[in-house]
Amino acid sequence: MYRVMIIDDEISARNLMKVSVDWDKLDMYVVGEAGSGIEAINIIDDVKPDIAIVDISMPFMNGIEFTEVASKRYPDLAIIIMTAMDDFEYARRCVSLPVFEYMLKPIIRSEVNATLQKLKEKLDRRRAESKAFANDNTYEPDMDRSMIDRIKDYISVNYQDSKINLTSVAQQFGFSSSYLSRRFKQETGKNFIEYLTECRMERAIQLAHDNCKMFCTSSEVGIPDTAYFGKCFKKYTGMSYSEFMATKRKQ
């Protein structure tokens, strides 16, 4: 089955997309969703989608910017752009990007299903062609503990970059993302995103102690989407950012 990620800042739009498509018939299923391009980039390595359905107008990182980043890091990712803005300039920019289809909102169920059916046929052909080749025996350099330490240092220095993720770091050090993911977990006991989030949240805690406002802290630690930052902070500390600051003021 093909894995689908829906990226839209409107929850209602994401829910409508989920109920408008006969996913089983298309041999697809929704594995994740995000409310912004930034949130999508942060979790895409975990959900590993084959297809991304992306709204063009979102805060912090819009659909065009997401496509520019994602298409470079994930050349096999099939992207469908959705927009409510019938704007020629946006359309022109999309045409220059590796986008499978450009569709206008509000969505029409039959058009969306037809587009996804066409995409499924393309992905089926690609999958069949890939099976025709022998297994890839490309040499993968060994990753010892010292290399892991170098990678951890790199993350510790660059976690403020909102676009950093497993794939970009793997490319930086000359490894495949799957190999880095496996070896990083083996050597540290944590997966990549857990370590990256830990670096960001530890810095966020320091800034909260200094009474830094949440929107400033979220930007400082590489998560400019404050809603997504809030989710990460509460999951890490057990408290919302405002609750954490209030607790520290009482101490």
- Hunting for tokens 């894995």 — which residue is that? 3
pLDDT for 130 equals 74
Predicted confidence (pLDDT) at residue 79 exceeds the cutoff of 90: yes
Confidence of residue 141 (pLDDT cuts 50, 70, 90): low
Pair (90, 191) in one structural domain: no
Report how far apart, in Å, the C-alpha atoms of 240 and of each of 39, 68, 183, 215, 248 are.
Answer: 18, 33, 33, 13, 12
120 in the same domain as 27:
yes
Q: Which domain does 215 fall in, by range? A: 145-250
Residue 136 belongs to some domain of the structure: no
pLDDT of residue 145: 86
Q: What is the pLDDT of residue 55?
A: 92
Q: What is the pLDDT of residue 139?
A: 53
Distances (CA, A) of 69 to 14, 24, 77, 114, 164: 21, 29, 11, 27, 10
Tens digit of each residue's pLDDT (9 = 90 or more) over 115-133:
999 999 999 998 888 776 5
Q: pLDDT by residue (tens digit) across 12-27?
A: 999 999 999 999 999 9
Domain boundary among the residues 74, 104, 131 is at 131
* Radius of gyration (C-alpha) of the chain in whole angstroms: 20
Residues 46 and 109 in one domain: yes
28, 119: one domain: yes
pLDDT at 103: 86
Gap between the Cα atoms of 110 and 127, Å rounded: 25
For residues 187, 189, 194, 196, the Cα torsion angle rounded to the nearest 10 degrees is -30
**Residue 110 placed within a domain:** yes
Total structural domains in the chain?
Answer: 2
- Decide if pLDDT at 248 tops 90: no
- pLDDT confidence of residue 214: 95
Sequence length of the chain is 251
10 and 74: one domain?
Answer: yes
* Residue 136 pLDDT greater than 70, yes or no: no
Residues 120 and 176 in one domain: no
Asked whether residue 200 is domain-assigned, the answer is yes
Q: Is the pLDDT of residue 250 over 70?
A: no
Say yes or no: 126 and 149 in one domain: no
Average pLDDT over residues 58-65: 86
Residue 5 or 139, more confident = 5
Q: What is the pLDDT of residues 174-200, one digit of tens each?
A: 888 888 999 999 999 999 999 999 999
